[in-house]
Every structure is written in C-alpha cells, then in structure tokens.
Structure 1
Amino acid sequence: MSYPVALSPRVRAVLPGWHGPQAPAPTHQVPGAGDALERALGWVEGALPRFDPAADGRARPGPPGSALLELVVVLRQLYHQDLPAPLAARVGRCLDGAAEAFLRGGFRHRMLRATPYFQYYAWLVACLLDTGRLPAAERDALQHLVDRGHADLHNPTHPPHGVLELRYVLDLAGVTHRLPDHRTLYEADVLAAPLDPLYVTEVEAYAVTHVVYYLSDMGLIPLHSLDEAQHADCVHAVDTLLDLYLCFGNWDLIAELLLCRPTLGAEHTPRDQYALECLLLAQHADGSMPGPHFDPRMHEALPAERRADYAFARSYHTTLVVAMTLADRLYGQGRPDARNGAAR
C-alpha cells in the first residue's frame, strides 16, 4: 500500500512521523478511537445551546435550523447504533435537548410556514419521530403539508439528489407521496456518470456521499438497491474521492467517505486505517474536529470572546460526522439492519 506523496500542509501538520509512500501500513486496530468518540460526543453535548436556533440571539451558520438539523440527523444515526450505555445515555440527552429546541418558541411554526425550509422541517420531524421524541400528531402535520402541495415536491428545478433526499426523509417519516422510485432518481444523479477527480467539485463530492446515505438509511443498512455495475461504479467513486480528499486533509469529507465504504460492502483497507488515524490525530483536545474552513491562525487572532463562536461554526459539522463514522467503525459493523434497535 502506498500513500499519497502530495500531502497538503494540513495533513503534514498532524502527521509529523510520516516518512513518505514507503511507510508501513497501519494495523487493523486504531488505538484511541473509543476515547476520541467519547471526547467528540462530550463536545457535542457541551455545545448543545449553540445548536438551538432560538437561544441567546446568536447568529447560526447556514439557513435557520441547519445546525440543529445536522445534529439531529447524526444523533438519530447514533441512536440506532449498539453503543455502550454511557454513550447511549449521552446521545439520549442530546436528543432530548434537540427536541426541546425544535418545539421551543416560534421555530417550529416558522419552519411550517416557510416553503423554502420544508425540507428542514421534514428532516427534523422524521428523525425526532424515529427516536421517540415527538408525538404522532407531528407526522400528521407533515402529511397535511405534502397533501396540500406546500412541499413543492414536483418542482422541475430540484436536482435529482435533492429529490432523492426528499423521498428518503418522507419515507423515514412514514409520509405517503408520489415521488419517483430510488432507481429512477439514482440514474439521473451525479453517480450515474463517470467521475473525473481532476474536475470534481466539493459540492459533487458531498452529493456522492449523500446519495449513498439516502440509499442506505444513513449507513445503517447495506446498500442493495443498485445493480452490479452501478454498485461497482459507486465504490470506485467513493474510493477515488477518499484518495483525493485524504491528500487535501479535508476531515469532513474523509469521514463521510469512510462511512460510505462499509455500507457498500467494501473491505477495510490499510488506506482506510490511515485515514482513521489522520482523523484521530487531527482532533482537538476538547473533542472538536477542525472543519475545512477552520484556520487556527485566524482563531488565535480573534478576541477571546469571539473564538468560541468561530470554532463552533467551523467545527460542528466535522465533529458530528467524525463521531458518526467512529461509532460505525467501533460498534456498527456486521449488523444486517441496525434499525432493529429502534425500540431502545
């Protein structure tokens, strides 16, 4: 196994002992992965107020509720993992806090009224229903919006992966709809065409990981809905992108791509091991993971009162996906259907 020589400064910074492409491949075990997961979830629980769209009047990154949505999506995936009791309890407390944030004040009503944010509302409802944090009446409200056309489901300007996402989340919520089936949507998506690493954009890379997630219930079940050729193309795309973003040191996409591989039935490789060790070495002492836009020099140059906001906005998503990937590698392999644990 040879590793990429053209490593970015971001990768070199966390690999002071790396000696080039002839370095021996790491072993199958990743010492410290369990501790890293505990630190990451500890950081998430400590940062819960910052995910709340209504708390303390602070501006949140992205559209209203986007940080809360991303939190809930990952917590729901962790909820269905066979985690040790202390970690499962922490996930449960975080889900309780997220449900309170969703229901508090006028946030839920603002999501209900604003058509552009329908998908955010649908995600939050689906995940919180699936984890037992909302009453069934919330599903009825979501079904009412779909039935009345409020969701704008059949807008021809929606990209195929966006429609695939919407189909997945409505199916997860148990809402009836008339969207095309998975195969039709997949064949119109980014993965249906050959992927050239010289020209692929970051947006396309995220579209690849998200398509895999929507077809595999966020990595909780094996992906069986593709034919043999489509499956092979999908594995090749994920592997190509993992090589590419490992060179760049983009921990966010590395974590997302690593979660895709076992879902696709790909064997654990020395390259996977190398990528996991990179993630562990990049983790900050407080458990957070620096995102692609986190600049330590800028962070240090900010006034002390602004550093926490800067770090949260540029770290929370990467911390969440790394926690999800580590949990899957430690506790989620070999399950034919992780949602059998849904009653927990």
Structure 2
Amino acid sequence: MEDRAVAWLAARRAMLDPRGARPDRVLFARKALIETAFLAGLRARLDDAPLTGDYAAILEQVEDAARQPSYREMTARDETALLLYAGTYAALRLCGRDAPEFGRVIRQAVAGGYAAAFERVPYRQLDLLHTLYLCGIEHDPSSMDAVLPFTLLCRRPNVLKLTDRDVYAVTHTLFYATDFGLREPAWPSGFCPGEGVELLEALLVLAEARANADLVGELLCCLYCLGVADSHATDRAWSFLESVQEDNGRVAGPEGILHPEAEAMEADFRHWAEGYHTTVVAALAGLLERSPRRGEPPSPPTAESVPLGPHLQRAVTWLCDASLAEDHRAGLPGVTAAALGASALRERGLARPGLAHYAAQLADAAPSFWQEQGAEVAGEFALALHQADICCPSLDAYLRATAEVVASLDDVPADAAAGVRRLVGLGVLRPGAAPAVPRQAPAVPGRAQTGGRHAFPFQDAVSLCEARESYHLGQLAATVRVLVKGGWGLHRITRDAVAFLVAQQDAEGAFGYPASDDPAARGKARYSWTRSAVVALAAAVESGPAG
C-alpha cells in the first residue's frame, strides 16, 4: 500500500508547488506541500534507509519549492500560518536537508511575540509544540503534557456526538503527543492510554460504516502510534484501506472533502485534490505499520457503565402512572413495558397496580383488540399477569385460540418463533403439540470484549448516530436493545448510546425533551420515548453489571 501510494503522489508532485498554482489555489497547494513533505520527513525518521525513488523525488520537489523566497519569506509576512512553513522546514531538517536561512526566518517569527503566542485550541497548541521540537527550536517538551488534560481525547467524549472535525482533533492530538509513536506522553491523572485505544476502535467502526477512508487511515495510524499492531480493529482497517486503494495507488477522500465549488475545477486537478490527503494518510499507515520503533500496546481499560437501576426505577414508576391516564390502546403497551422494567429490577410490585387496572379494563376485550396489539405486547402482558397472579379472561381465551392455530400448522415461520416459544412458556401450548420451531441463535455475551473476531454491526452504529442527531429516542432505544441482546452491551458505542439515553431523563423520571409548548404533543412524545427507553434499559440491566 505504502509504495503504490507514494508512487501516485510522486507522479503528481508538481501539484505541490505553490508557484504553479492559480491565485485561488495557492493556500491549498501550500497545505498539500507541507503534508506531503512531512510524510517524507517521517519516512526518513522512522526508517534508517536513505530516501530513494519516489520518496526522493518528492523531497526534491519540496526542497525546490521551499528554497524560493516567495515561499520561505511568507513565514515573516503570514504569521498566523506559521505551521504551514515551519512544518515544511521540519521535514527538510528530518531528511538531512537543513536550510539555515529558512530556519532563521522561522526562529525570528517565533520570537516575534505573535506567531507562537496567539490563542490556539489544545490540539493545535500541541501541533505548534511538536513542530517547534522537530524544527530544533528550543522549548520544553513537557509542556505538551500540560496541554493534554484539555484535549478532547482525554475528556472521555461520547463517540456518538463527535463530528468529523472532532475526530481529526483526536487523531492529531495522538500524532503530536506521541511524536508518531516515538514518545510516551505523561497522560493526565485518571486517563489511561487503553481508553484512547477503546475510543479509536469505536471511531473506526463509525468511520468504516460511513466509508470514510481518510478517517479510517488516521485512526489506524493512531493505533500504531499507541503500539497496537495486531488486533481485530487494525486488521479490519487495513483490509478496508486495501479494498479502496485504486490500482494506481490513489485513495479517494470522503464525499464532500472539497468545497462544492470544486465541481467547476478541471478534472485532473479535482482528481488530485480529492485524493492526495487520503493517499498521504494511507502511505503513513503503511510506514507506521512496518516501523520497528513502536512501544508496547496499552492494557485494555475496564468498561465503566452508568448505574442504570435508579434511572430504570424512576422511569417505571412514571410510566405506570402515565399509563393509567391513557386509553387502553396506548396504555397497554406502556404498562407492559413498565412490567418488563420492573421484572428486570426484580421489583415486580412496581407495575402491579397498572397490570391489575388493565386486566380489569380488558377482561371482555374482543380477540381483534389483542391481534391489533401484536404478539409481543400481548405475550409480554400475559407473562407479566402470570407472574403477578392476575387473570384477564379475554387474553387467556385469545392465547388458547392462538395456540390451537399454531398446533394445526405443519411448520412455524422464523418470524413467529419467538411468539410460539412464549406460548409454550405460558403453558397454553404443550411443547409436543407445537410444530418444529426454528432454533434461536444464542447471543454471544461479551464477544466485543473477549478478543473475538466479530465486527460491531455497522448498520446499528449508523442508526445510533442518526437517531442521536435527529433526537429520535425511540430509534436509539430500539437499537440499544438489539445490541444488548446481541452481546454488544459493553462495547464503547453501546455504552455511550446508553449514557446519552439516560442523560435525557427529566426530574420526574420521563425520557426526552420535546422542546414544544403544546401540552398534548409534549405528553405524547414523553410517553412514547419513556416506553422505548424502559424496554431498552430493562434489557441492559438484565444483561450485565450496569444495573
């Protein structure tokens, strides 16, 4: 991968020269120049073999552009862009091509009281400190560690809330703080690098699910910087990059990487501009993968989950009370969900008043009502009544009639298997009287944490992100339930989804903030969201230690 990527970059190295760029593309060319130059600098730093072939060709192009006054003297005139020029100088220096006059201008700018002094966000401050270090400009390397506590990486961010820009802040923090794997930072108190690995692997799932090769490449590089070289995450990321690399070595960037106005650019330039950065990243991944200078991988972190019991208990209490005020069509699913939650808490008495109320209200309900409610709601309500020793004659009659129909079938469709098992569990259908029921594939508890080679479901990862962005709490809760039942309850993505969900609980115990002044709309939304949240949290409490 590295060789083909570097060959593609070298073949188009003329694009890096700002002198040949149109006025509106000069800044873009300067950015591409420093990023490609830095790749050559890291190659010289991580591999003792001399630069030859395509790497040497890139270096010659960089050196030729950087020796021109029109480039290096911009350091003194455009102080806000100091890192564009200092990074190029650092790369030349790493390659043994020091340019004393270029270095003098950079030192002068740094000492001028602004270029290295104006306010920067934390990861950009790390960029400055790292670049000055590579330029040989005196500064205290430990000052990098003083910046780390303020970075997004070390603040335990919720992965579902991170934008692409946030993810780049995380990856670049790791590049600079670890000096691309050559330095062990003094991590902030309470943070362990294993947490960083967990975060990177979760972000890799989301990046690959969205086919973003640029982020996949940067996240893979970060895992290498932390010493993680042989894991399911690195294997998947590497395979993904190989699958998207074109025959000529180019790796296309994600959709929208260029401004919409780029559509008006000539095809050759647009083709290069859309792919050069991701191709640089792919080459860097190859370089880091073969580097012998990585440290040991950190120990995995202990999964910390939000205690869910108190949240679920308050939600069950609220839902039971709210269900009593609903009509029976809306109220029955609510009280059934509350019963599921109470059962998970081993406090079935919480739901008993609601169960008794609806059992009495629906004692003479028509079979069509139960059919309308669906097998899952009717079955779970029946199970809750059975456990509470409460009788509902119309439901009992409906279940017996359903059992007779099932017994007459030659086989059971797969999508009806759960309902048939429920009938057997309720005692209304003898196991021997039922036709062959498709076997249920067992969940694999903890497979995400035991080193198994299963991949987190991409569709569910995207569903969680979309649900959070659109504030579709019902969709988010339903996806959490599926993931928990599938054995992914302790995965970072699922845990962060649960953390987001419980953060939407209000002081009364209901879930969701409708941001509406209409009382009817508010009540309907909160009732629906709370019902979904209770079902999801009940599954989470039953599956693990989070309760």
Q: TM-score, normalised by structure 1?
A: 0.76
Quick one: distance in 2 between partners of 1:179 and 1:333? 23
Quick one: which of 163, 187, 191 aligns to 1:226? 187
Quick one: distance in 2 between partners of 1:80 and 1:178? 21
Mapped pair 1:167 → 2:155: no
Aligned to 1:143: 107
Q: Which amino acid aligns with 1:154?
A: A
Aligned to 1:342: none
Aligned counterparts, 1:202-213, within 5 A: 202-213=164-175
Please tell me whether the aligned partners of residues 79 and 92 of structure 1 are also in contact (alpha carbons under 8 angstroms). no
Quick one: distance in 1 between partners of 2:234 and 2:16? 31
Please tell me whether the aligned partners of residues 139 and 174 of structure 1 are also in contact (alpha carbons under 8 angstroms). no
Higher RCO (C-alpha under 8 Å, 6+ residues apart): 1
Give the deviation of 1:179 after TM superposition. 9.0
Quick one: which of 228, 231, 235 aligns to 2:197? 235
Quick one: which of 117, 141, 147 aligns to 1:154? 117
Aligned to 1:325: 285
Aligned to 1:72: 37
Q: Which amino acid aligns with 2:80?
A: P
SS in 2 for 1:315: helix
Alpha-carbon displacement from aligned partner over 1:322-343 (angstroms, at most 9, x marks no partner)? 01101221x213556xxxxxxx
Quick one: which of 110, 115, 120 aligns to 2:84? 120
Aligned to 1:248: 210
Quick one: distance in 2 between partners of 1:81 and 1:179? 20
Alpha-carbon displacement from aligned partner over 1:28-47 (angstroms, at most 9, x marks no partner)? xxxxxxxx322211111111
Give the deviation of 1:133 after TM superposition. 2.0
Please tell me whether the aligned partners of residues 288 and 319 of structure 1 are also in contact (alpha carbons under 8 angstroms). yes
Aligned counterparts, 1:85-104, within 5 A: 88-104=52-68
SS in 2 for 1:158: coil
Aligned to 1:13: none
Alpha-carbon spacing, 1:311–1:139, altered in 2? closer, same or farther (3 Å): same
Please tell me whether the aligned partners of residues 225 and 288 of structure 2 are also in contact (alpha carbons under 8 angstroms). no
Aligned to 1:307: 267
Aligned to 1:257: 219
Quick one: which of 313, 316, 328 aligns to 2:276? 316
Mapped pair 1:52 → 2:52: no
Please tell me whether the aligned partners of residues 191 and 233 of structure 1 are also in contact (alpha carbons under 8 angstroms). no
| C-alpha RMSD of matched pairs (Å) | 2.7
Which stretch shifts more, 188-197 or 43-52?
188-197
Percent of aligned positions with the same letter in both sequences?
Answer: 24
Please tell me whether the aligned partners of residues 178 and 225 of structure 2 are also in contact (alpha carbons under 8 angstroms). yes
Quick one: distance in 2 between partners of 1:256 and 1:77? 15
SS in 2 for 1:40: helix
Please tell me whether the aligned partners of residues 74 and 324 of structure 1 are also in contact (alpha carbons under 8 angstroms). yes
Please tell me whether the aligned partners of residues 161 and 189 of structure 1 are also in contact (alpha carbons under 8 angstroms). yes
Please tell me whether the aligned partners of residues 8 and 248 of structure 2 are also in contact (alpha carbons under 8 angstroms). yes
Q: Which amino acid aligns with 2:76?
A: L
Please tell me whether the aligned partners of residues 222 and 264 of structure 1 are also in contact (alpha carbons under 8 angstroms). no
Corresponding pairs, count: 291
Please tell me whether the aligned partners of residues 73 and 105 of structure 2 are also in contact (alpha carbons under 8 angstroms). no
Aligned to 1:33: none
Please tell me whether the aligned partners of residues 143 and 176 of structure 1 are also in contact (alpha carbons under 8 angstroms). no
Alpha-carbon spacing, 1:80–1:59, altered in 2? closer, same or farther (3 Å): same
Alpha-carbon spacing, 1:278–1:334, altered in 2? closer, same or farther (3 Å): same
Quick one: distance in 1 between partners of 2:78 and 2:124? 18
Q: Which has the higher helix share?
A: 2
Which stretch shifts more, 307-316 or 286-295?
286-295
Gaps of 5+ in 2: 296-547
Alpha-carbon displacement from aligned partner over 1:19-70 (angstroms, at most 9, x marks no partner)? xxxxxxxxxxxxxxxxx32221111111100011111537538556111111
SS in 2 for 1:65: helix
Aligned to 1:190: 152
Q: Which amino acid aligns with 1:225?
A: A
SS in 2 for 1:138: helix
Give the deviation of 1:92 after TM superposition. 2.0
Which stretch shifts more, 233-242 or 308-317?
233-242
Alpha-carbon spacing, 1:326–1:76, altered in 2? closer, same or farther (3 Å): same
SS in 2 for 1:217: coil
Quick one: distance in 2 between partners of 1:211 and 1:60? 28
Quick one: distance in 2 between partners of 1:251 and 1:62? 24
Give the deviation of 1:186 after TM superposition. 0.4
Alpha-carbon displacement from aligned partner over 1:247-304 (angstroms, at most 9, x marks no partner)? 1111111111111112212351123212211111111122111001379xx9xxx79x
Give the deviation of 1:127 after TM superposition. 1.6
Q: Which amino acid aligns with 2:155?
A: A
Quick one: distance in 2 between partners of 1:231 and 1:270? 18
Quick one: distance in 2 between partners of 1:271 and 1:248? 16
SS in 1 for 2:85: helix
Quick one: distance in 2 between partners of 1:181 and 1:273? 34
Please tell me whether the aligned partners of residues 2 and 285 of structure 2 are also in contact (alpha carbons under 8 angstroms). no
